[in-house]
Structure 1
Amino acid sequence: MSGCAIYTTPQMDLNLPNTSFNSAFNATPLNATFKSDAEKDLTRAESAPSQIRGMWWKNFERQQLNKLIEHALQHNFSLKSQLALTKASELALVQQNASDYPSVNMSAGATADAEQINEIRSGNIGLSSSWEVDLWGKLESLQEKAQWDLVSQQAIYKMRLNTVAGTVANIWLNWQAEREKKLLYASQFARTKTALEVIQRRFAMGKNSVTSVWQQQRLLESIKSQQVNNQSQLLVLEQQLISWLGGDMNTVFTLLQSTPEQEVSLSLALDPVPEITLSQLQVRPDLQQAYAKLQAADKLAAAAAAEKFPRLTLRADIKSSKTNTVALFDDWAKNFIVGLTAPIFNGGAIEAKRQQRLLQLEASFADYQQKWLDAILDVQTALINEGQLFRVAEQLQIQLELAQKTVRVVSLKYRNGKATYLALLRAQETSLNLERQQVNAKRSLLANRIKLYREISHSNFSQSPDLQHHLLLTSHSVVEDIK
């Protein structure tokens, strides 16, 4: 039973923050667009391709990556921990909803002489029930607060899902980059060694000084040191994957060692990013968690406001007590009590608590607005960076082609005695460095695309079909509530 609510939620504008970011979206330098349109409905918000908003890593079309992330989503211990907390919140909601019903307790007792313990002198049995009438909406507010706490935990679980998938994807990307560098260093070592043999023959013929041989040997040793560092990085990345995949060493090594040669290269085709609207960001789990936290704070403020009003409790007892146990169930005493408890003096504690809850609500609202700004900034930054990284990759490719042409021409002139070794050394070092920079540029481009996918994902990719359906329903309910 609930009466009239006496607490009114403060009027807050839950529309999207009106900032200068909105005008900046039109300047996105890609075929991906970011439009400010908060009035578009959830159907439009879910219109983006499922491989981008859902299991976004499948967009890279690498089976090795798919299997690594699927295994991590099933066995990662941080996910298991958060899932347990989510289930605990469900039980907390069940406990809070129990206030809708009266509590019933049974008591029973018997007395006997110490010398005649087997002979019962008297006995009693009774039932008691109590129920607080929710006159001012306090219990209802606490129930709704527990519901929003559950939504918050579910959103945190989805955030953790996205974090695990994104971290594993980034580790895999770094591992792939180091694998490509390993092949590159082997090629550079072979080319540099061949050049060293030419220089040594020219030195034997008296056409070079010994310093030319030393310089080329130094260049060769520098490649060896890069190979050592590369091998170390590969081992570290493998250990990181083992940690994120729940310590399953055999699975990690099996998946990494079964990489086809065509999957070693980082040359992945990236599709254009589809249109991104602000309404699509409503399903981001961090925004859902911030909104749930805001609503929970609102319900706590309502419950605190109701504490200064009287509490009405109904209590009923039924008891039988007889010296003759045979007649124990023949005569029952029944009582019905109505209790009213009202605070009179508490040193201002109730009012202070109400003010505290209101300030916490104000803080949660500010956090919610800031989360929106952070989400907008994160997506916009990823879009801008992608445009710049594409240009950098293209420029590095042009520079590398020019450097390789220079090496071929200078090498030919050097063999014919028309170029100095210093010119050849500079050309070699430039070409080698640009080859390494190209690998790093491709890695940066793909890492930024992973970041963009994570920023726009709804994270509803739990490995449990039942939980995934439940999280999807939660996502829809939060968006509808915001609207």
Structure 2
Amino acid sequence: MTYQLTAVALILLLLSGCQSFSADDHREAIEQAQAQLPAWQSQNDSAQTATELSQLLSDPQLDQLIAASQAANPSLQQTLLSLQIAYAQQQLTRGDRLPSVDLGLATSDGEDGSSNSAELSVSWELDLWRKLADADSAAKMDLASNEASWQQAQDLLVANVMRGYLNYAQQQQLVVLEQQRLQLLQSNEAVILERYRVGLGDLEALDNAKTSTATTQATIALYQQQLANSIRTLQQLTGDSELSVAGTSTYPHVSQPLATLPIQDLSRRPDLQAAYFNTQSAYYSSKVAYKSMLPSISLQAALTDSANSMQDALFTSPAWSLLGQLTAPLYQGGQLKAQAEIAELESAQSYWAYREILLAAVLEVDEAIDNERNLSAQIAHLDTAVRSATRSSDSYLKKYRQGLVDIVDLLSVQQQQFDVESQQIQATYNHLVNRIDLGLALGLGVNQ
């Protein structure tokens, strides 16, 4: 008996030494990942006071589209169900730390009459090494990661609805602009045709006018197709195939998100939160893998009795028993050690995945801020160009009516005016979309 106790003690000592060495050797990399969070997690209170993503763009129709998408978007609803599944899975892991109670009832008939037996047993595994606690912590981190992914899905959906609505406004403005261009070209073509009939113009000018008219008609058809596609995109995002969107002749106002403290604002980014929680889950999972090589102790208590009637078997002087069991893995072909090494490598892998997402987040902010500056300058130049082109077009029209310039020169100036206005519409769209991208990059989102 003394020899057996000594052998068990020796095994416990060796396994404890192996576990401590592996965990300490790996903990340095995990602590580096943990050190990334406090700088931005501690800013959560201030981040919650930031402007929401949905508040960047003020438009009643857009608010209705966002509400419809949050209620009926198929992809978002699937993400919500995945979150609910994660909640249920976390309950499974929590149950491993609690005692289990089983009740067994049996009835048999024989020559000596009927016999009834009942057994009530309670079993519980002692969490000496906190292996079950670490498994529960890993499950909690997985749940937190799923919650962050759910938040990210909501943020991306709202951002896509806002982008889709801006694209719809852009395409509608381009259609209106090209229709105005077409009316002017058709009017000019009629004038050129009339002058040609009376011998005041040439066939080349008439062909150029017809070419411009046909090209504009083709452009209108293209923009109308893109307008229909933008409506279908909104229908898909809102989950409503019968959705209709009222026309809009201007862009809604989009405010610029505050970007003075991007490090604080990044604390709201759900992709960073999910990546961090993944590192924590992998860390606890690696601890569970190492502790699986340690012995486990379980206790079981049972109440048993048998009698002629089921009532007597349940309530009349039952016999009780208490069983303690020690289980220690001795040799499994190196599987436990391999599983621990795999868990350790996966933990290190999650750490580098977090670093990658963190770097991408910082670069996204830098890119969006650079785009904001460049697009603002581009729009300012285009505003100047539109005003100059409008004055030039009016001047050429007066000179043409006075016979001072040719019709070809007038058409060229008018085309230039419409081209610049078209560039202005598209640049404004890119500018407003970049405001949304900047809000996402800084961590602006929507309330759950």
Above 0.5 in TM-score?
yes
Q: 1:199 aligns with which of 172, 179, 192?
A: 192
Counterpart amino acid of 2:68?
A: H
Deviation of 1:274 after TM superposition, in Å, equals 4.5
Tell me the distance in 1 between the aligned counterparts of 2:241 and 2:132.
47
Q: Which residue of 2 aligns with 1:304?
A: 289
1:379–1:452 CA contact under 8 A, matched in 2? yes
Tell me the distance in 2 between the aligned counterparts of 1:236 and 1:88.
35
Q: Which residue of 2 aligns with 1:144?
A: 137
1:283–1:458 CA contact under 8 A, matched in 2? yes
How many residues align? The count is: 424
Q: Which residue of 2 aligns with 1:67?
A: 64
Deviation of 1:204 after TM superposition, in Å, equals 2.5
1:406–1:427 CA contact under 8 A, matched in 2? yes
Tell me the distance in 1 between the aligned counterparts of 2:40 and 2:288.
32
Q: Which residue of 2 aligns with 1:475?
A: none
Deviation of 1:327 after TM superposition, in Å, equals 4.9
Deviation of 1:47 after TM superposition, in Å, equals 6.9
Residue 88 in structure 1 maps to residue 85 in structure 2: yes
Alpha-carbon RMSD across the aligned residues, in angstroms, is 2.5
Tell me the distance in 2 between the aligned counterparts of 1:109 and 1:38.
61
Q: Which residue of 2 aligns with 1:275?
A: 260
Q: Which residue of 1 aligns with 2:379?
A: 393
Tell me the distance in 2 between the aligned counterparts of 1:243 and 1:39.
35
Residue 215 in structure 1 maps to residue 208 in structure 2: yes
Q: 2:235 aligns with which of 216, 226, 242?
A: 242
Deviation of 1:195 after TM superposition, in Å, equals 1.8
Residue 10 in structure 1 maps to residue 27 in structure 2: yes
Tell me the distance in 2 between the aligned counterparts of 1:107 and 1:48.
57
Counterpart amino acid of 2:288?
A: A
Q: Which residue of 2 aligns with 1:319?
A: 304
Q: 2:335 aligns with which of 349, 352, 355?
A: 349
Secondary structure of 1:101 counterpart = coil
Using the aligned pairs only, state the percent identity: 22
Greater shift, 345-354 or 186-195, is seen at 186-195
TM-score, length-scaled by structure 2? 0.88
Q: Which runs of 5+ in 2 are unaligned?
A: 1-15
Q: Which residue of 2 aligns with 1:469?
A: none
TM-score, length-scaled by structure 1? 0.82
| Cα deviations by residue, 1:278-317 (Å, 9 ceiling, x for unpaired) | 1321221000000010000001001001011101010111
Tell me the distance in 1 between the aligned counterparts of 2:166 and 2:436.
10
Q: Which residue of 2 aligns with 1:286?
A: 271
Counterpart amino acid of 2:32?
A: D
Deviation of 1:41 after TM superposition, in Å, equals 4.4
Deviation of 1:393 after TM superposition, in Å, equals 1.1
Q: Which residue of 2 aligns with 1:404?
A: 390
1:41–1:279 CA contact under 8 A, matched in 2? no
| Cα deviations by residue, 1:305-346 (Å, 9 ceiling, x for unpaired) | 101110101011111124566753434222111100001111
Task: Say which structure is richer in helix.
Answer: 2
Tell me the distance in 1 between the aligned counterparts of 2:419 and 2:203.
25
Q: Which residue of 1 aligns with 2:125?
A: 132
Q: Which residue of 1 aligns with 2:43?
A: 42
Secondary structure of 2:114 counterpart = strand
Q: Which residue of 2 aligns with 1:471?
A: none
Counterpart amino acid of 1:310?
A: P
| Cα deviations by residue, 1:215-264 (Å, 9 ceiling, x for unpaired) | 11211121111221222122211111111112252xx31xx22x5xxx52
1:110–1:120 CA contact under 8 A, matched in 2? no
Q: 2:354 aligns with which of 368, 374, 377?
A: 368
Greater shift, 162-171 or 323-332, is seen at 323-332
Q: Which runs of 5+ in 1 are unaligned?
A: 18-36, 463-483
Deviation of 1:435 after TM superposition, in Å, equals 1.6
Residue 425 in structure 1 maps to residue 387 in structure 2: no
1:106–1:125 CA contact under 8 A, matched in 2? yes
Q: 2:109 aligns with which of 86, 108, 112?
A: 112
Counterpart amino acid of 1:330?
A: T
Tell me the distance in 2 between the aligned counterparts of 1:247 and 1:91.
30
Deviation of 1:458 after TM superposition, in Å, equals 4.7
Tell me the distance in 2 between the aligned counterparts of 1:211 and 1:321.
113
1:168–1:241 CA contact under 8 A, matched in 2? yes
